[in-house]
Amino acid sequence: MVLALMVSLAACVAPPRPSPPIPTVPTPPHLSLAPASFADLPGWQSDDPAQALPALLKSCRARVLGSENDLAGGAGDWQPICRDAAAIAAGDSTAARRFFESAFTPWRASNGDEAEGLFTGYYEIALRGSRHPDSRYSVPLYHHPTDLISVDLGQFRPALKGQRIAGRIKGSHLVPYDDRIAIEGGSLDRHGLEFLWVDDAVDAFFLGVQGSGRVTLPDGRVVRVGYDGSNGRPYVSIGHVLAATGVPVDQISLAYLRQWIASHPAEGRALMDRNPSYVFFREMTGDGPMGSEGVVLTPGRSLAIDPAFIPYGVPVWLDTSDPIDPSGRLRRLLVAQDTGGAIKGPVRGDIFFGFGAEAERHAGEMKGRGSWWLLLPNGIHPILADH
């Protein structure tokens, strides 16, 4: 009887619940650098380093204004490099190769243990517009609002170096700025920030993605416009949004996105609204477009990077897949001179391809996995620094 009661009681006892899984904390991005040699750079002998010298010299001129970075060294490290670079005759490939190999040491860049990252392309977009709105030209381009405040978080917390937020003052607080839906709904109309009107809302959207463009006016004159800040909202890739609905990732390109939006007008408008980031512009004079480093970008040789990890002005050897090149690879020496809302992380780059139909095609199709090496002045030992 006692045994039966014990069995009965045991049957009533609920089995122990499994312990809840311990949530995993994503590893924060971390730049790791390992010393290498030029013999380690895939395709180094097949590129013409003289083609990258004009871009490097532009960054050299920017460094004259003062650019110190614990990773890339200071003015004293770069002055002799820039002097020697300026002495090389244009197009002298042999001298250029000798210069890079004698002045720099390659460092393999990784995100922790992950050496591969995503590499894309961008270009200077062509638009049609007017200085005055009418029934055709009705989509405004806005200047930077005077009440929009950009904050460099690194000035407040060293751990946040390279990170920025933007907003407006409300009372005694900084609050988020209007998002895309609010701005395109007219929230800035009373500020008089419009300076051009274009004839296509989709073109205006992709102008914000690319960051620069040329607007042809009715009389044939061309106005160049460049990036003048954003509303500080996070950038959301509409390609990623479409991929989440089941569209194959390898099918999504700039041309595909344009075609999809054109064939789904209402859904296309809603898709673009999923990106709350909004970019402001200014009219540019002279050469362009201008990169975030403050230098004019060089087609095919300028690279957008995340400045939280990669310093401006540093030469970078890139090895990535390329759907346009017959070899299937893009192996090239570039210079870090720009950034963008979607360019985040230690191994993430965006290649500037220039202006025109071919640049648009290459940028629109470019989306490959690859690796890169930073070329740092000899004597710099970044592996000892915490990044």
pLDDT 10s digits, 169-209: 999 999 999 999 999 999 999 899 999 999 999 999 999 99
Residue 95: pLDDT band (50, 70, 90) is very high
pLDDT of residue 10: 44
Would the pLDDT of 12 be above 80? no
pLDDT of residue 3: 42
For residue 148, give both structure tokens: 């929009």
What are the C-alpha distances in Å from 194 to residues 7, 25, 127, 186?
Answer: 82, 44, 16, 11
Would the pLDDT of 5 be above 50? no
Q: From CA 92, how far away is CA 70, in angstroms rounded?
A: 32
pLDDT of residue 16: 57
pLDDT of residue 11: 47
Map out the domains of the chain as residue ranges.
Answer: 31-120+294-384, 124-284
pLDDT of residue 161: 76
pLDDT per residue over 213-264, tens digit each? 999 999 999 999 999 999 999 999 999 999 999 999 989 999 999 999 999 9
> Which is nearest to 350 in space by CA: 122, 58, 111, 55?
122
pLDDT per residue over 329-364, tens digit each? 999 999 999 998 889 999 999 999 999 999 999 999
Residue 6: pLDDT band (50, 70, 90) is very low
| DSSP label at residue 103 | H
Q: Which CATH class is domain 31-120+294-384?
A: mainly beta
**Which fold is adopted by the domain 124-284?**
Ribosomal Protein L25; Chain P (2.40.240)
pLDDT per residue over 43-64, tens digit each? 999 999 999 999 999 999 987 5
Mean pLDDT of 26-34: 87
What is the strand order of the sheet 149-152 is part of? 149-152, 164-170, 173-176
Q: From CA 126, how far away is CA 360, in angstroms rounded?
A: 10
Long-range contacts formed by 55-58: CB under 8 A, 24+ apart: 55/297, 55/298, 55/301, 55/302, 55/334, 55/335, 55/337, 56/85, 56/313, 56/315, 56/335, 57/82, 57/85, 57/86, 58/295, 58/296, 58/298, 58/335, 58/337
Average per-residue pLDDT in the chain?
Answer: 90
